A and B are shown apart, each in its own frame.
Chain A
């Protein structure tokens, strides 16, 4: 991200041809690919507005998101006990996901996860 720009860049997981072959051959080990949309403070810190990540639950995706860029945002995103901070709203395909149940919230290929806090500017 260029120094003073509002970040609209995307992050994609690096994937090799081999990984595609493995996913096709061994579907048990296939990880669905999910689009994660990031807003406000998190967007500013990570420097991206959108990420394509692999995971089986919402929690997997958030753990990967926290370390996907140069800045580690685990401290902003998670409480000390590992749950997602309560001021972040998580929505999976427009429906709110309970922050305490992210480990149980399963995702499917093509799902879109949004992560945003409230904003107050007027």
Chain B
């Protein structure tokens, strides 16, 4: 697949990156990615992927924009409070890169609708804000055999993992039990989901271009102290999601 002169100009800075080049850019153009959640993480991931030239980009979120979202969800505007996030994000992304085919889903992803939707995409990015959705998505991705790029934030901390159903561990292998729910809301300073969302988008770009990825590792970003910690994930033999497969 060849690029038009305008595309060569638009992507010139990443075409020069070893490992991406023309071949990688063509792979990005042919790629399809589903971003679940259009909040602090999801909006950043979707923006970077559209800008990078991902050909088909789906994003799902049932929510409306709230004033309390605006400390971290920087692609939305104050006057848009009360409007559906996916519609706002679609409008922003269309202006950012008209070549990207956008597929907004204004719905809550659950066990029933998740598998048929994510089967039509090659990669899935988890940007939801609760454990129930995260573990549901983990299950669905392993059932549909789609790579899941997991990212989550809490305060000045973030966790990132690439979970590959082709022999790799799943989210349940890393966290066999869901912790008790946090009272109230999760505290999140604005830049933290920005960092994690950008990291998730970088992992997606690497996966699409066939560059070495983060697979099988969980990384903890401790932004409070400026440190990173890697955890080697292992498949649990008795894992109810991927055990034995």
Contacts and interface: CB of A to CB of B under 8 A. Distances in A.
Interface of A: 6-8, 37, 39-41, 44, 49-50, 85-87, 89, 91, 94-96, 114, 116-122
Contact of A121 (B174, B176, B177, B186): B186
A33 B189 CA distance: 34
B182 to A, nearest CB: 7
B75 interface: no
Given A8-B224, A40-B155, A122 B39 contact: yes
Nearest to B186: A121
B127 to A, nearest CB: 5
Given A37-B229, A86-B176, A94-B231, A119 B222 contact: no
Contacts of B175: 87, 89, 117-118
Interface in B187-245: 188, 193, 220, 222, 224-225, 229-234
B186 to A, nearest CB: 4
B177 A87 contact: yes
B150 to A, nearest CB: 10
Contact of B37 (A8, A49, A95, A122): A122
The CB with the most chain B CB atoms within 10 A, among A37, A119, A122, is that of A122
A39 B186 CA distance: 14
Contact of A120 (B152, B193, B230, B233): B152
Interface of B: 37, 39-42, 126-131, 134, 151-159, 171, 174-180, 182, 186, 188, 193, 220, 222, 224-225, 229-234
Q: Which 8 A-B pairs have the closest CB atoms?
A: A121-B186, A119-B154, A87-B179, A86-B177, A118-B175, A122-B129, A87-B177, A121-B153
17 contacts: A7-B224, A8-B225, A40-B155, A49-B222, A50-B225, A86-B176, A87-B176, A87-B178, A87-B180, A96-B231, A114-B220, A114-B229, A120-B154, A121-B154, A122-B42, A122-B126, A122-B151
B131 A120 contact: yes
B225 A121 contact: no
A51 B186 CA distance: 25
A40 B40 CA distance: 18
B152 A119 contact: yes
Given A121-B129, A122-B42, A6 B156 contact: yes
Contacts of B153: 119, 121-122
Contacts of A121: 40, 129, 152-154, 186, 188, 193
A120 B130 contact: yes
Given A114-B229, A122-B40, 6 more contacts: A6-B156, A44-B155, A86-B176, A118-B174, A121-B154, A122-B128
Contact of B152 (A6, A95, A96, A118): A118
